[in-house]
């Protein structure tokens, strides 16, 4: 383990453990308090109880974190040192543990928030190798690729994630045992970051793929307006493609272009229904209980993707504009 990872985990793991222990001890008191808040809020606004539900989801999230950390530690101790075989065994265990963790959290969201997950076109995701480009609209939509791409389509994913997520110990430990890459969005060497993303595309099998969120961050109106303003000044042609498409952010192109050189088909993951889970402020305001989450997929063969970089950028923007159109159509239907 590198010293940087060790130093980070000496902070994040005790912090997560303290939060879980504190929340567990105080849970009965907090349950009474959140119940009182929900009762008063419900009488005034007639909205479903949300504070109590958030408390439950928070406990489930932290409990899952601790299970992943503890099991990962035992797995690390149990696997005998044997070079590449050890790394492969640890990666296999991390895949299984991450899959359990996501199922655990999704099941909690279904039961506590009453969310209903539905998908169409799931059969076109496989076979691999594929590049999967997913819309990013909420704090929980990173669960969707696990559910609909890995579990239902049987595609084991290599993820491109932002480095800030290393503050999450379960993602940090499991994510670094698997062939993922955590992007430093503030790096002085964007070329090196792009090269590291491109390296994920090597030696993928028919049951594997690469997952990337081209928007780079969750959608927000402020970020949308800022990117569209920059686009209008730097690339009027691309601005016209995205003009009026206000359900998604204009995509970032570096990582996608690097992966397209691998010659794989591209699958677009499109969803709606999670917009009210964009952040805690939206969850509190809208109390999204009993929502229907719709997910669909569209696959583009590698043979239909242009070869020149400039043409690929235009192609990506046109595809992302279609993602926006699909979201609007899904809502209307």
Mean pLDDT, range 183-193, rounded to an integer: 78
pLDDT grade for 207, boundaries at 50, 70 and 90: very high
pLDDT of residue 193: 85
Give the residue among 327, 331, 297 at the shortest CA–CA distance from 120. 297
pLDDT of residue 259: 92
User: How far from 303 is each of 115, 182, 254, 306, CA to CA, in Å?
Assistant: 38, 29, 20, 8
Mean pLDDT, range 229-234, rounded to an integer: 93
pLDDT of residue 223: 92
Residue matched to tokens 């955590």: 182
Q: Is the pLDDT of residue 269 over 90?
A: yes
pLDDT of residue 225: 93
Q: How much of the chain exceeds pLDDT 70, in percent?
A: 98
What residues are paired with 200 via a beta bridge? none
Residue 117, φ and ψ in degrees, nearest 5: -100, 125
Q: How much of the chain exceeds pLDDT 90, in percent?
A: 68
- Other CB atoms within a 10 A radius of the CB of residue 149 amount to 26
pLDDT of residue 2: 66
What residues make up the domain containing 101? Answer: 3-332
Higher pLDDT, 218 or 2: 218
Whether omega before 115 lies within 30 degrees of 0, making that bond cis, reads no
pLDDT digits (tens, 9 = 90+) for 121-141: 999 999 989 999 999 998 888
Q: Can you give the CATH number for the domain in which 46 is found? A: 3.40.1130
Mean pLDDT, range 5-19, rounded to an integer: 93
Answer whether 116's CB lies under 8 Å from 194's CB.
no
Total domain count for the chain?
A: 1
Q: Is the pLDDT of residue 25 over 90?
A: yes
pLDDT of residue 281: 86
pLDDT digits (tens, 9 = 90+) for 275-308: 888 888 888 888 889 989 999 999 999 999 999 9
pLDDT digits (tens, 9 = 90+) for 42-88: 999 999 999 999 999 999 999 999 999 999 999 998 887 766 788 88
pLDDT grade for 241, boundaries at 50, 70 and 90: very high
pLDDT of residue 183: 87
Q: Is the pLDDT of residue 187 over 80?
A: no
pLDDT of residue 195: 87
Q: Is the pLDDT of residue 1 over 70?
A: no
Q: Is the pLDDT of residue 333 over 80?
A: no
Q: How far is C-alpha 247 from the chain's CA centre? A: 17
pLDDT of residue 280: 86
Give the residue among 267, 319, 329, 331 at the shortest CA–CA distance from 298. 267
Mean pLDDT, range 326-333, rounded to an integer: 90
Mean pLDDT, range 252-257, rounded to an integer: 90
The average confidence (pLDDT) of the chain is: 91
Distance CA 253, CA 245 (A): 17
Distance CA 267, CA 297 (A): 7
pLDDT of residue 83: 67
3-state secondary structure the chain: CCHHHHHHHHHHHHHHHHHHHHHHHHHHHHHHHHHHHHHHHHHHHCCCCCHHHHHHHHHHHHHHHHHHHHHHHHHHHHCCCCCHHHHHHHHHHHHHHHHHHHHHHHHHHHHHCCCEEEEECHHHCCCCCEEEEECCCCCCHHHHHHHHHHHCCCCEEEEEEEHHHHHCHHHHHHHHHCCCEEECCCCCCHHHHHHHHHHCCCCCCCCEEEEECCCCCCCCHHHHHHHHHHHHHHCHHHHHHHCCCCCCCCCCCHHHHHHHCCCCEEEEEEEECCHHHCCHHHHHHHCCCCCEEEEEEEEECHHHCCCCHHHHHHHHHHHHHHHHHHHHHHHHC
pLDDT of residue 3: 63
Taking phi over 0 as left and psi of -120 to 50 as alpha, with beta for the rest, 12 belongs to alpha
């Amino acid at each position: 383990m590198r010293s940087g990872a060790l130093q980070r985990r000496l902070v994040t793991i005790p912090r997560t453990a303290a939060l879980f222990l504190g929340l567990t001890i105080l849970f009965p008191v907090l349950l009474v308090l959140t119940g009182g808040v929900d009762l008063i809020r419900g009488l005034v606004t007639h909205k479903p109880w949300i504070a109590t539900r958030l408390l439950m989801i928070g406990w489930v999230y932290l409990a899952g974190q601790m299970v992943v950390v503890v099991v990962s530690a035992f797995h690390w101790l149990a696997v005998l040192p044997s070079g590449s075989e050890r790394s492969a065994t640890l990666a296999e265990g991390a895949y299984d543990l991450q899959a359990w963790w996501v199922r655990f959290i999704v099941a909690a969201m279904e039961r506590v928030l009453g969310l209903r997950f539905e998908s169409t076109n799931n059969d076109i995701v496989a076979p691999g190798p594929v590049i999967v480009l997913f819309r990013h609209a909420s704090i929980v939509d990173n669960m969707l690729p696990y559910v609909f791409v890995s579990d239902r389509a049987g595609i084991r994913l290599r993820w491109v994630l932002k480095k800030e997520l290393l503050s999450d110990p379960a993602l940090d430990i499991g994510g670094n045992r698997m062939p993922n890459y955590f992007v430093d969005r503030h790096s002085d060497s964007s070329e090196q970051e792009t090269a590291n993303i491109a390296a994920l595309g090597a030696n993928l099998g028919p049951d594997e793929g690469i997952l990337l969120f081209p928007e780079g961050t969750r959608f927000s109106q402020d970020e949308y307006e800022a990117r569209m303003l920059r686009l209008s000044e730097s690339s009027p042609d691309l601005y016209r493609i995205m003009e009026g498409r206000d359900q998604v952010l204009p995509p970032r192109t570096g990582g996608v272009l690097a992966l397209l050189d691998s010659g794989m088909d591209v699958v677009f993951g499109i969803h709606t229904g999670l917009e009210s889970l964009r952040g805690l402020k939206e969850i509190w305001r809208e109390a999204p209980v009993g929502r229907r989450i719709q997910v669909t997929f569209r696959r583009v063969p590698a043979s239909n993707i242009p070869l020149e970089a400039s043409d690929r950028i235009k192609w990506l923007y046109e595809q992302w504009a279609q993602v926006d159109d699909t979201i609007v159509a899904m809502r209307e239907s």
